[in-house]
Amino acid sequence: MNDDQNKKKLLVVDDDPQQLAIMQRLLSSGEHDVLTAGSGAEAMGIILGEEPRIVITDWFMPGMDGIQLCKTLRQHEGVRFVYIIVMTAQGGEECMVQALDAGADDFVRKPLKQAELLARLRAADRIVCAESDLAKRTRELHRTNAEMALTHQKLNKANEQLRRMATTDELTGLLNRREAMSRIEQFWASMERYDQIFSCIMLDIDFFKKFNDTHGHAAGDKVLKTTAQVLRSTCRKTDLVSRVGGEEFLILCPGVGADGAKICAEHLRAAVEKTAIEYEGTPMLITASLGVAGGSKLYENSDALIKAADEALYASKAAGRNRVTVAADLNAPRTEPGAKPAAAPKPIVVRTGP
Amino acid sequence: MNSSAHTSVPEPLISQLAHEADLLDLIELFVHELPRRVEAMEAALHANDLSALAGIVHQLKGAAGSYGFPIITLAAKQLEDAAKSGAAPEQLASDMRRVAGLCARARAAPACAERGV
């Protein structure tokens, strides 16, 4: 509905037809489209249907009187703001107070002088315009807020997706190399600051390249995905499993030293070995070689720790694959006076596999 | 210019808005309709329906002022108050006569009056 048109609509309510007639005449020189109602009930119908912005109502009328009309309009949820002028032939200050408290915006006594009536309507127009403006701004504000909330939601979703993409390996759903390196830095810092131990296990699928060349990339991908599932379900919930290379996985075990990690690594090795990977109807068996290094301040940094796990892994490969090797116990060199901590300790082969 | 005193010779009661040419036709209509209002009031009083009487007089009270007859408004207020408070029949009859008398004298403009002002 056109707001500018409604702004000009004015409703006069009086049960006396001749009172309505003279009001209409007095208002004819003004700028309003004058509507009339002979009762409070009729007025309600016109207000809901025509949405006049100003209502001038008589007080005493049979049925719904002017005061009841005020109260109804103010309580009615569906009615937008209307400026209400209550007019009465009698009544002193207490009547005025009653009318204003009932929700009237203005109170006038009959007989109404034309100049005064038109001046009061100009004042009413100012309020109606201000209210319309405010309502419009409020609507715009609500719309902008809703749009911003939607944008915010989209942005959050996009950020979440980006964050996931930045931290996750697409093929396996495991943490990616970048995220694994970030986590190991955190573990390293916690170890240095609070002596919180952790270990890392490096795992490499045996003969993966050969497997890939023989059976194709799709089969290779299936192997990687299945291995990822096996690792995740075999590890403890607190362990972080990541894919750091083509067929290379790094498992970070917080709160666990080299001995505990060795047990964990053996579980992983056994789990991979016994998993039959279905590919195009053919079950395929694979094995993995693992290297374990317990976090220790005797390593220069986290890179040195990973390097130690890597070297233990290659010792497993060299010793025939499908086995676990633990990097040398770095506490040992400290017992020798004057000896430097080994930056790259020689792995000790611990054969736990077949 | 209009005397509210009871006089034996009815003096016309001219609307204070008589100079408003724009309103003259409406005032004439109002004056023309006054006997109908008086009849309705007398009927209500005769039937001793004081609440109906109060309602009709209340309308007259509001409208008369708007049409330039404040003196009718005052008299109507007196009758309305009497009807609402259930005043004695003599009091009601006296107030009714006063309203009816004023209504009978009401004229829209001097030209409509039987005599000049």
Q: Cα separation of A101 and B24, whole Å? A: 37
Nearest to A18 among B33, B55, B70 (CB): B33
DSSP A168: B
Q: Cα separation of A260 and A271, whole Å? A: 17
The predicted structure's pLDDT at residue B11:
86
How big is the CA angle at A103 (ends A102 and A104), to the nearest 5 degrees? Answer: 105
The predicted structure's pLDDT at residue A340:
44
Per-residue pLDDT of A145-178, as tens digits, reads 999 999 999 999 999 999 989 999 999 999 999 9
- Please answer yes or no on whether B62 and A88 come within 8 Å at the CB atom: yes
Token pair belonging to B13? 């009661």
- Mean pLDDT value across residues A27-41: 90
How does residue A113 score in pLDDT terms, banded at 50, 70 and 90? confident
Instruction: Tell me what the pLDDT averaged over chain B comes to.
Output: 87
The predicted structure's pLDDT at residue A332:
46
- Mean pLDDT value across residues A19-40: 90
Per-residue pLDDT of A223-282, as tens digits, reads 999 999 999 999 999 999 999 999 999 999 999 999 999 999 999 999 999 999 888 888
What is the chain B residue with the closest CA to A21?
Answer: B26
Helices (H), chain A: 3-7, 17-27, 40-50, 66-75, 93-101, 114-167, 177-194, 208-215, 217-234, 258-274, 302-318
- Please answer yes or no on whether A58 and B62 come within 8 Å at the CB atom: yes
Give which of A304, A87, A290, A129 is closest to A206, Cα–Cα: A290
For residues A336 and A86, the model is more confident at A86
**Predicted confidence (pLDDT) at residue A106 exceeds the cutoff of 80:** yes
Residues A11 and A38: beta-carbon distance below 8 Å:
no
Residues A13 and A43: beta-carbon distance below 8 Å:
yes
Token pair belonging to B96? 């009714």
Mutate to test the interface with A, among B17, B57, B58 (most CBs of A within 10 A): B58
- Please answer yes or no on whether B29 and A60 come within 8 Å at the CB atom: no
Instruction: Tell me what the pLDDT averaged over chain A comes to.
Output: 88
- Please answer yes or no on whether B68 and A111 come within 8 Å at the CB atom: yes
The predicted structure's pLDDT at residue B6:
52
Residue type, A155: L
- The answer, yes or no, to whether the previous bond of A111 is cis (omega within 30 of 0) is yes
Residues sharing a CB contact under 8 Å with residue A238, sequence separation 6 or more, in sequence order: A253, A254, A255
Residues A66 and A13: beta-carbon distance below 8 Å:
yes
What is the chain A residue with the closest CA to B52?
Answer: A62
- The predicted model scores a pTM of 0.59
Catalytic (active-site) positions of A: 247
**Predicted confidence (pLDDT) at residue A336 exceeds the cutoff of 90:** no
